[in-house]
Structure 1
């Protein structure tokens, strides 16, 4: 899925980031269209990672003023940046969609220590289907209204609308975080042959088109999207039963710092 020369370069850059910033990469994954399963031939490699500093970095009066991200310019189609573990766990507590999807990425570059497995084990306690529903609804609505009402539309934007709409269906049916792979969501359209055929044709076209490839609108997909968006104006969401996970997140944080010692 990821060419070996590209993977080797990504691993080299991760090691360089560790050396430059004196951190340890705990988890590094592919996010975006390559992880979702509908990349174009020239799609960027969207590498996202979680890192930790040595323990003493966090025991500081000016901790809140310290930078908690590592970012690099895109070079040779590789877009790589990361979050400090403390930032990641604080956002995890709020069901941050980016972090939740990184935990579930099918394309793993690196996993160090017990961080990733422990964070995944906490997903059922931390994740709010209510927050997820509103996030995915907003993503679908924004991309549909912004891009899919023209005479020619960006191919990739169809999937930027369809994936979140199907993710909401997953949340409604299963009450668990939706998988990020588009293909794992398609069974939610079982019996809707016209839609599935249109999606299959569009997916085949997308995989052979440039990143900014265009298409004529697909009427049956637009009807489905409009119907779902209208339905989700009054979503029947499972209310999140809040539980105090701060203790468990703190224990995970402390365990990682102990590994760093």
Structure 2
């Protein structure tokens, strides 16, 4: 699959006349809880030729491709233009920091990690915490309305909730991988054991198969979400140096 993904990225770059700066896995395989049938969720950041940024009408700022059913699994690929990426960075969109720390990288023509001193100050704890709480809350409203729930939905609630908990505790960028977030539950070993059990089940079964609701985890999700929604109101706001980000953009498009 890796070879196929790298080939697809080369094709996308050629067909769209772009340069892919960075490509990674962003989904359950990177988050640390894949199923046998999990999609490969490939995300990339790209740049147009310089003239694409020097005209009145802006080019489309994203590439969103249909899911491809390959012989080795489903492939979901999409990317953001560098200007869109940096604009979302200004808004403290946590997805960008997730991509930059993905344990699965498919290519890097510009090592954005070298510029974390410019990028990281834009991480705003209050904005990022509300982002993760919104994901958890919306998923809960959809997934916990019957006697059963899909295994993968539990992880789509737990990971963002734990990310929000990390931000509340440390006021810093949370790890992308679930296992690195679980020490937050060291004082709640029963919840950790229940999550370990879910991880084992997800590795073995189709992620779309519903299972009976797990009351212990349901109660934790509800109480922690309520607590964090109140705590998030008091988190700090942060913003980085816009001029430094402009210079990074100029470097990416070839002006520097």
Same fold (TM over 0.5): yes
Distance in 1, Cα, partners of 2:187 & 2:47: 47
Q: Does 1:111 align with 2:104?
A: no
Residue from 223, 237, 248 that aligns with 2:244: 248
Q: CA deviation at 1:233?
A: 3.2
1:205 match: 201
2:138 match: 142
1:161 match: 157
Distance in 2, Cα, partners of 1:235 & 1:126: 21
Distance in 1, Cα, partners of 2:137 & 2:88: 23
Q: CA deviation at 1:97?
A: 2.5
TM-score norm. by structure 2 comes to 0.93
1:84 match: 81
Please report the RMSD computed on the Cα atoms of aligned residues, expressed in angstroms: 1.6
Residue from 48, 55, 72 that aligns with 2:65: 72
**Contact 2:123–2:239 (CA<8 Å) still a contact in 1?**
no
Q: CA deviation at 1:101?
A: 1.4
- Structure 2 segments unaligned to the other structure (5+ residues): none
- Structure 1 segments unaligned to the other structure (5+ residues): 1-5
1:173 match: 169
Question: Could you list the per-position Cα deviations for residues 112-131 of structure 1 after superposition, in whole angstroms to 9, with x for gaps in the alignment?
Answer: 123x2244333431111100
Residue from 19, 44, 65 that aligns with 2:14: 19
Question: Could you list the per-position Cα deviations for residues 10-31 of structure 1 after superposition, in whole angstroms to 9, with x for gaps in the alignment?
Answer: 0000000111111110000000
Distance in 2, Cα, partners of 1:30 & 1:180: 11
Q: Does 1:29 align with 2:24?
A: yes
Q: CA deviation at 1:258?
A: 2.2
Indicate how the Cα distance of structure 1 residues 48 and 119 shifts in structure 2: closer, same or farther if over 3 A, else same: farther
**Contact 2:90–2:239 (CA<8 Å) still a contact in 1?**
no
Q: CA deviation at 1:165?
A: 1.2
1:40 match: 35
Q: CA deviation at 1:162?
A: 0.8
1:100 match: 97
**Contact 2:164–2:228 (CA<8 Å) still a contact in 1?**
no
TM-score norm. by structure 1 comes to 0.91
**Contact 2:21–2:47 (CA<8 Å) still a contact in 1?**
yes
Question: Could you list the per-position Cα deviations for residues 114-165 of structure 1 after superposition, in whole angstroms to 9, with x for gaps in the alignment?
Answer: 3x22443334311111001111111111111211231111111111111111
Q: CA deviation at 1:175?
A: 1.2
1:125 match: 121
Residue from 3, 9, 12 that aligns with 1:8: 3
Distance in 2, Cα, partners of 1:8 & 1:87: 28
